[in-house]
Structure 1
Amino acid sequence: MFTRSDTTRLKQDLLLKAKLMNVDLEFNTRWGVFSPRAIDDGTELIMKHITVDPDDICLDLGCGYGPIGLALAKHCDKGEVHMVDKDFVAVELANQNAKLNNINNTKAYLSDAFRQVSKEVKFDQIISNIPAKVGREQLSIILYDAFDALKPGGKITVVTINGLRDFIKSNFKFVFGNYKKIKQGKKYVVSQATKNID
């Protein structure tokens, strides 16, 4: 149990240091956002298997406080990274963390999946740590919107709990016509699909 005086301390932002894609980063986090004390295992796994080109335009879908998007932005220094989340606290923290790490080629903004993402922007890569409780309906919306938002040859890469592997595999094949398992760990799997060039 926490006392009233404990809550003063609990309201203060936490500082988290992490190395992602061989880049040292710092994050302000807060109780109430996903995984505030440490980078979660799914994010750690996907970040070990992502490669980007310096001029890529990327989307971090469901960015949280920004670990994926900010690591990508460090590697896409001639490109840009869009970070979106439906949680306003996460978006606020992601933007704070971009400033904290002196990253200028990214911006976080509120969006329920792709709803606020400009249809004018086409992405080389879309990366997401998909929540375990994503429903079939929402996943279908996300995948079709991702297909439309990718450039020809663009890739969507997601990390999910292993229990969603077959679900993701069948949906990737249905929407994109292909599926590639990048890496499977004890609890999580990284999956990828490519928007084929016609």
Structure 2
Amino acid sequence: MAGEHYFSADPAVAHERHEVVFEALDREFRLVSASGVFSWSRLDPGTAVLLAEAPPPGPATEGALLDLGCGYGPIAAVLAAAAPRATVYAIDVNQRALELVRLNAAALGAAGRILPMLPDEVPETVGFAQIWSNPPIRVGKSELHALLLRWLPRLADGGVAWLVVAKNLGGDSLQRWLAEQGFAAQRHASHKGFRVLRVEKPLP
């Protein structure tokens, strides 16, 4: 896959299937991926760091969780397994990615709890207990900032967002920018060149 095909709503590249296998929550996940989606041939290193370093939601967690920029759904799959009483909204602009999330959710027995959607399909009334994201840094700074300013304010009271960003792609500057916007942004972990940021909404 060349360039940023995974940003396309309907990727034109050939639809080649692949199985991605990884471990999280002391169990093995096997997900179907395909060409034309982000990091389709393996678990992205940033996503791997996020899943290893950020604390998963507890089994008693209820309400809505958000996988922002879900790709084929590795974060959504782990969130659904960690919090079986929660609903996971998995959003992406890539239709192929959303179809893969549907397939993977069904295979995991979580079709009713993982909801793949385009961003505009998420009801405006939904607030999120947690937001998890390996955000698409390469879309450009203005687009990235607009994305975060659209979704981070939808954290519920007491909610938290977990973001992973490569240091060499601006992880530290993003943390500073989030603080400038009024968010409480802390570096939770630093591993393999990635920053894991813990972000909360400002107090009223």
TM-score (norm 2): 0.84
1:108 aligns with 2:113: no
Paired residue for 1:185? 191
Paired residue for 1:63? 70
Return the letter of the residue paired with 1:22. Answer: D
Write the distance in 2 (CA, Å) between the matches of 1:84 and 1:179.
23
Paired residue for 2:104? 97
Write the distance in 1 (CA, Å) between the matches of 2:179 and 2:36.
35
Q: Which moved more, 1:128-137 or 1:66-75?
A: 128-137
Spell out structure 1 runs of 4+ moving beyond 3 A. none
Paired residue for 1:31? 35
Paired residue for 1:169? 175
Return the letter of the residue paired with 1:91. Answer: L
| Identical-pair percentage | 25
Contact kept? 2:137, 2:144, Cα under 8 Å: no
Paired residue for 2:155? 150
- Kindly tell me: are residues 34 and 139 of structure 1, through their superposed partners in 2, closer, same or farther at Cα, counting changes over 3 Å? closer
What residue ranges of structure 2 are gaps of 5+ in the alignment? 1-13
Shift of 1:74: 0.8
Shift of 1:92: 0.4
Write the distance in 1 (CA, Å) between the matches of 2:154 and 2:200.
12
Superposed CA RMSD: 1.8
Return the letter of the residue paired with 2:117. Answer: Y
Shift of 1:197: 4.1
CA deviations over 1:76-101 (Å, ceiling 9, x no partner):
11111000000000000011000111
Residue 36 of structure 1 aligns to a residue in which SS?
Answer: coil
Contact kept? 2:50, 2:196, Cα under 8 Å: yes
Write the distance in 2 (CA, Å) between the matches of 1:197 and 1:77.
29
TM-score (norm 1): 0.86
Paired residue for 1:121? 126
Write the distance in 1 (CA, Å) between the matches of 2:184 and 2:99.
35
Count of aligned residue pairs for this structure pair = 186
- Kindly tell me: are residues 118 and 165 of structure 1, through their superposed partners in 2, closer, same or farther at Cα, counting changes over 3 Å? same
Contact kept? 1:143, 1:175, Cα under 8 Å: no
Write the distance in 2 (CA, Å) between the matches of 1:135 and 1:109.
23
Between Structure 1 and Structure 2, whose CA radius of gyration is higher? 1
CA deviations over 1:125-182 (Å, ceiling 9, x no partner):
1111012313222222222222321111111111111121222111220223321101
- Kindly tell me: are residues 176 and 155 of structure 1, through their superposed partners in 2, closer, same or farther at Cα, counting changes over 3 Å? farther
Residue 138 of structure 1 aligns to a residue in which SS?
Answer: helix
